[in-house]
A and B are shown apart, each in its own frame.
Chain A
Amino acid sequence: MRILLLGTLCTLLLGCIDAPNVKLNEKNQGLVYCAEANPMTFNPQVTTTGSTIDLIANQLYDRLISIDPDTAEFKPELAESWGVSDDGTTITFYLRKGVQFHHTDYFTPSREMTADDVVFSFDRLFNVYNPYHFVGDATYPYFQSVGLDQLIQEIIKVDDYTVQFKLFNAESSFLSNLATDFAVITSKEYADILAAAENKSQFDNKPIGTGPYKYKQYLRDNLVRYHKNETYWKHPVAMSQLVFDITTNNTSRIAKMLTKECDVTAHPSASQLAVLSKRADITVDKAENLNIGYWAFNTEKEPFDNSLVRKALAHSVDFNKILQAVFYGNGQVAKSYLPPASWAFSEQESMPTYNPTLARKYLDMAGYEDGFEMTIWAMPVSRIYNPNARKMAELIQSDLKQIGVTAKIVEYEWNTFIERIGKHEHDSVLLGWVADTPDPDNFFSPLLSCTATFSDKNPANWCNPEFDLLLTKALDTTDIEERKAFYAQAQAMIIDQLPLVPIAHGMRFQASSKEVKGIDLKPFGGISLANARKQ
């Protein structure tokens, strides 16, 4: 009776609900993107977390230059053109005129973007006297880990639309570092107003940029709302609203795709792709991507400071089985640290293979005949390089049992997880890296250099001066063949020392409803929704 009653009530309600034009009218047309995590900040300068960069970098901001994903050449963005001096130490950018910062309810710009803004944006990163340098702990992980703070001597405003970077020495990856998602241009005028109001912390939370969308609202665990930037310099923006629906659960994201609550979803997991591709109204895009999923050891902690132990662990795990179970055939087994699509890739003969007997032997040699206990930190979100870290951790756990090592799996909410990994609280961690530029240095310096250790970004906590020297040598030259040789040595060194075990390179997937167009998957960097439209 009651259910009958309920049923009738529902039908009655639906009678008026299911009117044909439930769709939002033209004025409110917007796009809902289901994202996998809360943004940690709204300023890409202060983070390297991919899930955050996806949400903010290309949506709210622009950079001086970018890299064309097809040709790998530099493209003008906020800088119309640029020139490099013969010795490579002076780089001059000629800025675009008529670029407007966002007009929002909390800030109205009185002038266009000028050289002052560019100088301010970079000055904040490197100059300790900049009033904003110490806002938010003064960590600029990307720039510090690639050593830009050691490289830039001076940033000079030549005139309102010309900026000059003076470097201590020429470095081959300088321009590509400026083209990453992190090197955004922020507004000096906005910064000055906030500084005058003693409210500097707002700068990274209520963003002002020049990008296609402007900030409107952020509700933690719920949504991020952007409105379109009517004065966007590049092209008119089709979507009047862009909403990120924060859905941490993989299955929920897929379900929301099916119920049309999401227009686009990030990182659908490989096991569920079949469900999505059955539907006629959903497209699943697949693209090659420069990334690496790895298992990193905290090399400063016992017993992982012993490379024999690391070798034993690497040989004890059957990564082929993992690849099947976690990537469902959509990942490539790592044959080196760099993905094969990178120009500096060199295949490593001595990649560790599954061999429990050998693993036991290494453990005996290291003096751990009886095994030991350790933690495996599994990230709670699905990323390209590791769609299901929890499952992977469980498989590793069962493999480790065979050589007498007891592993405990540790999980935290994503942002807490990253923070704790930064403090090196882990024994070992399943993590990965998606390239921000096609330059191979992007895989090395931000992750495995000594400076990365100091800026809390090195998950292996591994600082090897010899390795750093190789990286520096590779950056000091512009000769491609020479660089290749150095990076080949660096890759060999990683496989020899095993601060981390490279596991796999994933494919980038994206599910979107058929009517959504204009979202291209790039092989590197964060997603851009500037051209998104519905048809």
Chain B
Amino acid sequence: MREYLFRRLSLLLFMLLTLTAFTFSLNYLFPGDVLTNLSGQVNSSYAQSQALADKYQLEENIIVQYGAFLGRIVDGDWGYSLSSGQPVFEHILLLFPATIELCVYALVVAIVLGIPAGVIAAVFHKRWPDKVINSLTLMGFSIPIFWLALLLIMVFCLGLGLFPMSGRIGLLYEIEPYSHFILVDIIAQGFPYGGFAFIDALKHLALPTIVLAMYPTTVLIRFTRDSMLNVLEQNYIKTARAKGLNRRQLILHHALRNALLPVIKQIGLQFSTLLTLAMITEVIFSWPGVGRWLIESIYQRDYPAIQGGLLAVSMFVIFANMFAEFSHTVLNPISRNQAHGKI
């Protein structure tokens, strides 16, 4: 186990190094002045730009520059956003929780709906529940989420007026941001505004969560179904059935646990797709998360912000994947024997 952990961590380290090297090279690949791309400070006087060049060690060779860059990343000095003049790292700290929050809820919805639906489809293989679930999944899988989002907005926001179409909470509710997870903050402050703030936040969450959950739900359904069908073919299931176990016992006690193992790994892998989709969702629902900010930054050619945003998002994906793989291993002893780490 220790060796396994060591291998995974060294792989992680290597990936982070590659990622930072790529981010660092962006400073040279982006148009404009390297120093401005790095620091986000423009129009500085000669003395200032000298001080900056010293700080960023621009006079040194590229390896030393990269070293200095790594040091600043670790210190949380990610430069200043060109458009707001604020530190990039502060923006990310403020915005990332909103994205993670949305992704986590979407993932929870996907798990809660996707896994049971997948199991049902497998159990009723080639009978009507399977066919219904299968065709709905195919539909959900093929709908582009921006189109789904606009459709939902048209029906539920503009048509029926049931849900708000933007933001995390009604702007007149003042919630002190402690954790930056809105529901957590509201609960921590003891349901202010007579609980209405909480309900309002849920209403704001509803549509973006549904939209974002659509893709991972369909993937999980298909994956669970396939994996379950696979397990049900196994000899030990046949043995169990021959021993006279009833269907329920068979599925809940013998098939499900084994069928879910690959699914857990899949959940972790979904996180990267989820973050990409979250960016689209954030833009459509004006969700104040890191994705919307990143897209806005691209539009504004705010290079330090693009760099910081990319770095933060990719780092998060790497960590999430690592975590999923690790938990998969903890639950599944077989994969521990694979001595080499996988990306």
Contact = CB atoms under 8 A, between A and B. Distances in A.
Interface of A: 1-3, 5-6, 10, 13-14, 16-19, 22, 24-25, 28, 30, 32, 216-217, 219-223, 225, 241, 243, 245, 247, 252, 255-256, 258-261, 412-413, 415-416
Nearest to A415: B83
Given A252-B286, A256-B166, A259-B158, A32 B171 contact: yes
A392 B337 CA distance: 66
A284 to B, nearest CB: 18
A258 B166 CA distance: 12
Given A2-B136, A2-B217, A13-B202, A243 B172 contact: yes
Interface stretch (B60-68, B191-199, B252-260): B191-199
Nearest to B137: A2
A413 B296 contact: yes
Contact of B193 (A1, A10, A28, A225): A28
A241 B167 CA distance: 18
Interface of B: 83-84, 86, 113, 117, 120, 129, 132-133, 136-137, 140, 153, 157-158, 161-167, 170-174, 193-194, 196, 199-200, 202-203, 206, 210, 217, 221, 286, 288, 292-293, 296, 299-301
Contacts of B117: 1-2, 5
A157 B122 CA distance: 87
16 contacts: A2-B137, A14-B162, A22-B196, A24-B170, A24-B196, A216-B174, A241-B174, A243-B171, A255-B157, A255-B165, A256-B165, A258-B157, A259-B164, A261-B166, A413-B300, A415-B83
A15 to B, nearest CB: 11
A1 B172 contact: no
A161 B156 CA distance: 58
Given A1-B133, A2-B136, A28 B172 contact: yes
Contact of A2 (B84, B133, B166, B199): B133
A32 B158 contact: no
The 4 closest A-B pairs by CB, nearest first: A413-B300, A30-B172, A243-B171, A259-B157
A413 B300 CA distance: 6
Nearest to B116: A5
B135 to A, nearest CB: 10
A123 B296 CA distance: 38
B83 A2 contact: no
A259 B172 contact: no
Contact of B166 (A16, A30, A217, A247): A247
Contacts of A10: 206
A220 B84 contact: yes
Contacts of A225: 171, 174
B136 A413 contact: no
B158 A5 contact: no
A258 B113 CA distance: 32
A222 B165 CA distance: 14
A258 B163 CA distance: 11
Contacts of B292: 221
Contacts of A1: 117, 120, 129, 132-133, 136
A252 B193 contact: no
Contacts of A416: 83, 300-301
A414 to B, nearest CB: 10
Contact of B194 (A25, A220, A222, A247): A25
Nearest to B114: A2
B150 to A, nearest CB: 10
B127 to A, nearest CB: 13
Contacts of B136: 1-3
B134 to A, nearest CB: 10
B296 A221 contact: yes
Given A24-B170, A241-B172, A412-B301, 20 more contacts: A1-B132, A2-B113, A2-B117, A2-B137, A13-B202, A14-B162, A16-B199, A22-B200, A24-B196, A32-B171, A32-B172, A220-B84, A245-B166, A252-B165, A259-B158, A261-B165, A261-B166, A261-B167, A261-B171, A416-B300
A25 B163 CA distance: 20
Contact of A245 (B113, B129, B171): B171
A511 B277 CA distance: 33
B84 A255 contact: no
Contact of A17 (B113, B129, B199, B300): B199
Contact of A252 (B84, B166, B300): B166
Contacts of A221: 288, 292-293, 296
B157 A2 contact: no
Given A1-B117, A10-B206, A22-B196, A222 B172 contact: no
A2 B133 CA distance: 7
A222 B288 contact: yes
Nearest to B94: A219
Given A10-B206, A24-B172, A261 B129 contact: no
A163 B199 CA distance: 54
Nearest to B172: A30
Contacts of A28: 172-173, 193
A416 B300 CA distance: 8
A28 B269 CA distance: 44
Contacts of B171: 32, 223, 225, 243, 245, 261
